[in-house]
Structure 1
Amino acid sequence: MGGKDPGETGEGVGSLRPLPLSVQARLTLATAVLSLIVCTAIGIALDLLIRDRLRQDVFADTQRATTEWIGSMTATPSPPVTTSEVDLLQLVDAHGHVVVASRAASGRPPISTLRPASDDRIQHGVACADGECVMFTATRPSPQEERLLWGGAAHVVYAGLVEPPLLGTRRLELLLASGVLAVSALLTWIAAFLIGRTLRPVEAMRARMAEITVTDLSKRVPEPPGDDAVAQLARTANKTLGRLEEAVEQQRNFSSMVSHELRTPLTGLRARLEEALTYPDVDPRAALRDALSTADRFQAIIEEMLSLARVRTAAPGHREPVRLGTLVGEEVASRRAGLLIRVDAEEDVEVLGNRVQLGEVLTNLLVNAQRHARTVVEVRVERRDGQAVVSVRDDGAGVAPADRERVFEPFVRLAEGRRRDPEGSGLGLAISRAIARAHQGDLGIEDSPQGPRFVLRLPLPPRPPT
């Protein structure tokens, strides 16, 4: 009383769900079904072929026996002497009486009542009686032979053979069915072995991937030998893990540097505001001006951080043909009068890229060069080694070899840079390199006779086929 039927709670048999099969189990099952279907079709074809071939052989033997006996007959035929497996031979007259027969067929009724017509003198058949079936050939002598031997009376010669066991029973089908099952089972076992061996590296990769966490991205999946799809998958997964580890490490370093760079001005801002609240003699308007200046610095740093993040994580955006010589001329023309900027640009050096982003790179390089130059900045645009190369050199103090990579890290500012531009964020060169690499190029510092030489390399677009 008060109980519920299993069907009402969804807990009965109807709510049971089959367990999901693994990939290996599904592939093995599919192989088993497919091999069973194919082997069954082959078995049926073999059964029909063997039965047809056995019938043809038996009828060929019985037909040969009738024609040989007819060829040796006289007006008073004698019982034939059988020398082959065909031992049932009878000569039957027009009234259906056995005139003469072989030893094995004597005393038996006519093998069959089938009587071939004169225009179709050889016919085959199967006659069954008393649980025994006989395959026979009924041959009627030619009209000339009937006139010579029996005065034109129609006679029929029968030659028969007890139906072979393979034709009279289901033994052949049982043998073929056993073979089909055995071959299907063998193929399924081989397929299961090969599938398991093929998927074993995938399982090893899955197990290793399950061990990888955000706190430890140094592990890599095992790479099987060879160059098949699984090996390529493992190598691709390891490359992806490498890029992910690098990105996470960059993010950690970036977060650490951001917190450091923002903490210092934030601490100064808080101290300035607390001072204005604590000491009445502090000019509040001056404190607010200082706070506003610090807020502007915050805003500039945050905007540059967002710009760097966008460049690192997104494609360059809309690409178009950009002539670097023209772009350099526009950026140089927009600079304030002051230091001399010399431009040496080859014509028609063109790349595919985002014009705004490439312009930002050139702006950062020119600002940096003007900040450190003494008298002159030199800009050169050329083709070199199959690339478009833009070099910006100033005649300043230069960058030590040990610092040539550090200056491209976010918030890294050398002592000279801090002295010349105390309010700088140290993100300009990092953003410039990120933009260059997003365009499949690079940005670095190379040797020069005097001062640093920043070199931007970008790939040239493929030439159209001629």
Structure 2
Amino acid sequence: MSLLPDSIRTRTTVAVAALSLLFLSVIGASLDFLALDRGEAAVFQEAQRAATNWLGTFQPGSTPPPTAEGRINLLQLVDSQGHVELATPAAAGRPRLATVQPPVDNRVEDRVVCPRHGPCLMIAAIRVPPLETREIWHGDPHFIYAGMVQPPLLASHLLESLTAAGVLLLTALIAWGNWWVGGRTLRTVEGIRSTMAEITVSDLSMRVPQPPGRSEFAHLACTANQTLDRLEEAVKQQRRFASTTSHELRTPLTGLRTSLEEAMLYPREVDPRQTIRDALSVTQRLEMIVDDLLVLARLRAGDPAAHEPLDLGALVRDEAAAQTGGLPVEAHVTRDLVVRGSRIQLIRVVGNLLANARRHAESLIEVTAERVDGYAVVTVTDDGAGIAPADRERVFERFVRLDEGRRREPGGSGLGLAISRDIAHAHDGTLRIEDSPRGARFVLRLPLMDPPPGRPLSPGVPAWRA
């Protein structure tokens, strides 16, 4: 896998190797240039010093022969015609070392001379000053050539070859280091990948290995494990939901089938009209359960609903007023409780809470809507038997119905409160049961939003306190 051309390890190694080769080549070429330049400058400086020292010994009528100084073993005194008058033993018998004759205004010139036969020479050509020329040679120009055989390091491409070899070796080491580090770094990703490949829907208990520290890979592994936790919990919920749903649907279907079979087997003993009425009643309950299941599935799937600014207080007041017949409903509503949400879904929440309160209340239902700490808070309180603290979360589960609820309304689906809580969560709010002196108190909290511009807040009615 790591050798694939599109793998991160291969691509980064190739990129690092290419950049390293480029930079090291530039650095190596610069170092070569500096080394060669300084080497040549040092040789020419020694040659000029040797020639100057010899020139300092010239006297009228006396020109001593030259002597070698250090590496500078080639010295010649040449007249204007190119005849060699004096020379060191190493330069004796040679023709003049160079043909260049520096002018008066530029008395020193450096040259690399490569004769047809033999090695190249590094020569410093110096014109004898006019004073010495007049006093010693009556104005005939003379020239001193000083130098040496070009050193092997400067004469050959050895330095360039060594530098190129060093650049390639360093590039290879950098590429290998990147490959090794990349392999160790991506080992965590490979562990995550291999573990994820083994995870199936039937077994979501496995978790990816999480490296220590707070690196990006550690965060990736942590996020992957958190996602697997949520996925495992979601699958468990789906399985529980499927099991509970099949049970809830099987009961009325079994009763319906039994009733129809009795009508077929005993036509003279069973009233067909009553059988049809019972079947219609069961069918109506099944239809209600299926509709609630579809709503709950859409909410759990996160299907978006059209949200708009709406006055929650007015909505609560209208729903409370629509509760005609049965027990009275007292509403205490603060106006201009502007929230952003789906009108149909929030009407369903308030309607479910009022229906639940009507089912359990003894004589009165009280509803309030007020503003508390940036939230619109709607409370629905009944004066019934209340809900035990141990059951306050259970009633929001699907198909959960307490004994009191089954007694008062046997045909309920047990999905109303679960749907209401999901709608509250879809609106970034909460729905829960809080303490109450008597009965049950359901509290819905939704975040407020600023009212539309140009619309002043109306004074509210004092809210009822439980």
> TM-score, normalised to structure 2's length?
0.88
The answer for the alignment partner of 1:280 in structure 2 is 267
Alignment-derived partner of residue 396 in structure 2: 408
Which amino acid counterpart does residue 283 of structure 2 have in structure 1? A
Q: Which runs of 4+ in 1 moved over 6 A?
A: none
Matched, 1:445 2:433: yes
Q: Which residue number in structure 2 is paired with residue 13 of structure 1?
A: none
Q: Is the 1:140–1:155 contact (alpha carbons within 8 Å) kept by the matching residues of 2? A: yes
Aligned equivalents of 1:90, 1:347: Cα separation in 2: 115
Distance 1:438 1:33 in 2: 53
Could you tell me which residue of structure 2 aligns to residue 8 of structure 1? none
Which residue identity does 1:368 align to in structure 2?
A: N
Instruction: Tell me the amino acid that sits aligned with residue 309 of structure 1.
Output: A
Decide whether aligned partners of structure 1 residues 461 and 154 sit closer, same or farther in structure 2, where only a CA change above 3 A counts: farther
Q: Distance in 2 between the 1:145 and 1:344 partners?
A: 124
- String of CA shifts for 1:212-263, please: whole Å, max 9, x gaps: 2111212221221222211111111111111111111111011011101111
Residue number in structure 2 paired with 1:11: none
Which residue number in structure 2 is paired with residue 235 of structure 1?
222
- Structure 2 stretches of 5 or more lacking a match? 452-466
Distance 1:228 1:315, change over 3 A: farther
The 5 Å alignment of 1:128-143 reads 128-129=114-115, 130-143=117-130
Deviation of residue 308 (structure 1)? 0.5
Query: What pairs with 1:326-341 in structure 2 (closer than 5 Å)?
Result: 326-341=314-329
For residues 54 and 417 of structure 1, the distance between their equivalents in structure 2, rounded to whole angstroms, comes to: 103
Q: Quick one: distance in 1 between partners of 2:50 and 2:325?
A: 122
Structure 2 counterpart of 1:427, from 401, 415, 433:
415
Q: What is the rounded CA distance, in whole Å, between the counterparts of 2:449 and 2:194 in structure 1?
A: 43
Residues 146-191 of structure 1 show CA distances to partners (whole Å, capped at 9, x for unaligned) of: 3344222222221212222221112212221221122122212321
Give, in whole Å, the separation in 2 of the partners of 1:336 and 1:143. 132
- Where does residue 181 of structure 1 map in the other structure? 168
Give identity over the alignment, percent. 55
Asked whether 1:398 is paired with 2:383, we answer no
Q: Post-superposition shift, 1:127?
A: 0.9
Does the residue aligned with 2:191 lie in a helix, a strand or coil? helix
Query: What root-mean-square deviation, in Å, do the aligned CA atoms of Structure 1 and Structure 2 show?
Result: 2.4
Match of 2:234 in 1: 247
1:172 aligns with 2:149: no
* CA displacement, residues 408-452 of structure 1 (integer Å, 9 cap, x when unaligned): 111111111112221111111111111222233322212221111
1:63-212 aligned within 5 A: 63-75=48-60, 76-129=62-115, 130-212=117-199
Q: CA deviation at 1:386?
A: 5.1
**Aligned position for 1:309:** 297
| Corresponding position of 2:367 | 379
Describe the shift of the 1:396–1:41 C-alpha distance in structure 2 as closer, same or farther (beyond 3 A).
same
Residue in structure 1 matched with residue 206 of structure 2 by the alignment = 219
Match for residue 33 of structure 1? 18
Give 1:267's match in structure 2, choosing from 223, 232, 254.
254
Pick one of 54, 59, 66 that aligns with 2:39: 54
Alignment of 1:356-371 (within 5 A): 356-371=344-359
State how far apart, in whole Å, the 2-side matches of 1:73 and 1:285 are. 148
User: Number of residue pairs matched?
Assistant: 446
Question: What is the correspondence of 1:338-349 to structure 2 with a 5 Å cutoff?
Answer: 338-349=326-337
Greater mean alpha carbon deviation, residues 328-337 or residues 224-233: 328-337
CA contact (8 A) 1:316 1:435 kept: no
What is the deviation of 1:309?
A: 0.7
Shift of 1:368: 1.1
> Alpha-carbon deviation of 1:21?
6.0
Displacement of 1:332 in angstroms is 1.9
